[in-house]
Structure 1
Amino acid sequence: MALYITSLNSGSNGNCYYVGNETDAIFIDAGISCRETEKRMRRLELSMDIVRAIFISHEHTDHIKGVAVLAKKYRLPVYITATTLQYAGLLLNDHVVMPLHGNSIINVGDLVVTAFPKLHDAADPHSFMVSHNNINIGVFTDIGFPCEQLKHHFQKCHAAFLETNYDEEMLEKGRYPYFLKNRIRGGKGHLSNTQALQVFKDHKPSFMTHLLLSHLSKDNNNPELVQNLFTEHANGTEIIVASRFAETAVYCVR
């Protein structure tokens, strides 16, 4: 059975990634409103009825903005670390909060979700790999530096969402204040195009069919630039730039 993936939104204005099969699906983060999530799901002809859970990567607003309403309306469990919950300020009923720990493996219907720590300026941030029938989908965004765990999991992915947040020259010459530039590129901020491309070139498995370039900066990146950069090294992998304004198509990963 195949896995189906889409980015409902990707960027500092909201992040939400969908991974599912014919019967079970999950959201990784829910950083857009419930209403907007529903609207985009309908346009993609995806059903909220098979969404089984929400997994939270960290507490920043662009990853949690829609969580409380979605969880309440659809009675969805929310997998979140205790520390992230403490800092998130989410109003969640106790019965929907499910424990999440580093390097934990969680079964949600027929899906298997692996969580592992990442480098980001948040309380207890995690990345995820979602698996079914030996198909692996990685969700790797908001990463300050490509650590060994990221490389290890990337090598197993048939498809992945990989952060390409900023072009180094655009950031350096851009309007951001110096402290913010250093926060972004300082090892616990975001991945540059160059860093992400190195991960892709060095660790892409031969069976990777799709790569969704994610969490692009509005001010410090350019979708066409990063599309061309990765396409040059794609070697059969379809390269998609995830938008900060709309959902992507649904991609079937076999």
Structure 2
Amino acid sequence: MIKISLEVCSLASGSSGNSIYIATDKRKILIDAGLSGKRISERLDKLSVDGSELDAILVTHEHRDHIKGVGVLSRRFNLPIYATEKTWAVAEEDLGKIKPNHRCIINKEGLTLGDLEIESFEIPHDAVDPVGFTLKNQSKKVSVATDIGYMTEEIMSNLKNSELVILESNHDLEMLKAGPYPWSLKKRIMSKEGHLSNDDAAATVVELVKNSVERILLAHLSKDNNVPELAHLTIKNMVIDAGMELGRDLQLNFAYRDEVSKLFQVG
């Protein structure tokens, strides 16, 4: 029987809420919980997972679409919350009353939860101290990089050699420019502290495939400035231009706004 090192599922992805479920044989965690506690629990139910089985919540940054349900879930299921010191400073009021022993700090040394090794890395976004994560078990690695204004060398170096990468592909640049958002919001999204475009995501995908990444889950697609088919086509074209082929060199999937993704098994 093949032993699975990591299980990964997107519970929600987008500006209305983000949450990722990751499990090993010994630990079950969430990265972010940007929906209500009730809706997170309902989506976990679809995986036959009860909230009481969770071991921790990791927080990437303090924006509401990433922390809305964090405090509620912590209180309901007695869960520790891991965030950077600076993120705690700005998020604590929104999280509500948290037990002192559940206020856990993420630092550059990383942390170990049972059989899960976790490291964080800096990402450029308009939050106080935003981070992405790499998670390892039995030498298998999953990486999460969303809400990033542009791809940095540090991010790329952390994503390389992952069995699965959850990567932002937020907007099509032309759709964003022609869309209904006010210019101030468009500038924020396009800025170096905004969100990754389809073109930027496609260029990143090509580099990741060159560095042994074979499965990518595109995440945080904009409801107004993107569609999965366009993100898929943009990436497919750039992959083909690089002499690669979807299905052969890369498995490409999506994390959806209002749907639980398939449960990806790594290992």
* TM interval, short-chain normalised: over 0.9
Figure out how many residues of one structure are paired with residues of the other and give that number: 253
Q: Which residue of 1 aligns with 2:137?
A: 132
Q: Which residue of 2 aligns with 1:35?
A: 38
Contact 2:209 2:250 in 1 (8 A): no
Contact 2:121 2:158 in 1 (8 A): no
Contact 2:175 2:226 in 1 (8 A): yes
Cα offsets for 1:80-111 (capped at 9, x unmatched): 1121112112212222110112x331101110
Tell me how far apart the structure 1 counterparts of residues 38 and 249 of structure 2 sit (CA, whole Å): 36
Q: Which residue of 2 aligns with 1:61?
A: 64
Match of 1:147 among 148, 152, 167: 152
Stretch deviating more after TM superposition (85-94 or 63-72)? 85-94
Match of 1:99 among 81, 100, 105: 105
Cα offsets for 1:101-152 (capped at 9, x unmatched): 2x33110111011011110000111110111011110110000110111110
Is 1:215 paired with 2:228? no
Q: Which residue of 2 aligns with 1:79?
A: 82
Tell me how far apart the structure 2 counterparts of residues 247 and 145 of structure 1 sit (CA, whole Å): 27
Contact 1:119 1:144 in 2 (8 A): yes
Q: Which amino acid aligns with 1:93?
A: K
**Residue 21 (structure 1) shift:** 1.4
Q: Which amino acid aligns with 1:128?
A: F
| Sequence identity (%) | 35
Is 1:225 paired with 2:230? yes
Tell me how far apart the structure 1 counterparts of residues 5 and 89 of structure 2 sit (CA, whole Å): 36
Cα offsets for 1:133-180 (capped at 9, x unmatched): 111101100001101111101112110110000001101111111111
**RMSD between aligned alpha carbons?**
1.5
**Is the alpha carbon distance of 1:226 and 1:114 closer, same or farther for their aligned partners in structure 2, counting shifts above 3 Å?**
same
Contact 1:78 1:98 in 2 (8 A): yes
Contact 2:160 2:212 in 1 (8 A): no
- Secondary structure at the aligned position of 2:55 is classed as strand
Tell me how far apart the structure 2 counterparts of residues 163 and 15 of structure 1 sit (CA, whole Å): 12
Tell me how far apart the structure 2 counterparts of residues 228 and 50 of structure 1 sit (CA, whole Å): 39
Match of 1:170 among 140, 159, 175: 175
**Structure of greater Rg:** 2
Which residues of structure 2 form unaligned runs of 5+? 240-245
Q: Which residue of 1 aligns with 2:254?
A: 241
Match of 1:14 among 12, 17, 23: 17
**Residue 205 (structure 1) shift:** 5.0
- Secondary structure at the aligned position of 1:40 is classed as helix
Q: Which amino acid aligns with 1:86?
A: A
**Is the alpha carbon distance of 1:185 and 1:170 closer, same or farther for their aligned partners in structure 2, counting shifts above 3 Å?**
same
Which residues of structure 1 form unaligned runs of 5+? none
TM-score under structure 2 normalisation? 0.90
Q: Which residue of 2 aligns with 1:188?
A: 193
User: Runs of 4 or more off by more than 6 Å in structure 1?
Assistant: none
**Residue 57 (structure 1) shift:** 0.5
Q: Which residue of 1 aligns with 2:242?
A: none
Tell me how far apart the structure 1 counterparts of residues 109 and 168 of structure 2 sit (CA, whole Å): 22
Contact 1:211 1:238 in 2 (8 A): yes
Q: Which amino acid aligns with 1:252?
A: Q
TM-score under structure 1 normalisation? 0.95
Tell me how far apart the structure 1 counterparts of residues 253 and 80 of structure 2 sit (CA, whole Å): 30
Tell me how far apart the structure 2 counterparts of residues 181 and 207 of structure 1 sit (CA, whole Å): 34
Is 1:250 paired with 2:256? no
